[in-house]
Amino acid sequence: MIQKKLDALAQMMDECRAMLFPNGFRGLDVEGQDMVMLDADTAGYVYRVLDGPLPEPSRGGLIRLVGVFEKVLPAISDEYASKYYAQARDVAALAAEIEAMRDK
């Protein structure tokens, strides 16, 4: 079961990385969050989840990251950027789900 989710996570991440970063979002803060760092943090966590279980402090960081998306997404009015960050949120959420499954 976890392997299927890991495969889906890898595919979703490939799709996410194939998208162009939204114009105008470099150096932009939304709800106090640097949008480039949000993107970079997501990639970092996801690639680490794909490599194996996260240590406990990193698991907490991943869960907080998913919460950040819930805060910033409603504040994004640009249609493409909204789609881009919604996809990144979905990738981060699946990574968090996989980590929760590893505890069982």
pTM for this model (two decimals): 0.94
26-72 confidence digits (pLDDT tens): 999 999 999 999 999 999 999 999 999 999 889 999 999 999 999 99
Determine the average pLDDT of the residues in 73-102: 96
Within 8 A by CB and 6+ apart from 32, the residues are none
Residue range of the domain that includes 56: 2-102
Nearest CA among 83, 53, 48 for reference residue 69: 83
What are the two backbone dihedrals, phi and then psi, of residue 34, each rounded to the nearest 5 degrees?
Answer: -70, 120
Binned at pLDDT 50, 70 and 90, residue 103 comes out as: confident
Which residue type is seen at 101?
M
Distance CA 97, CA 85 (A): 18
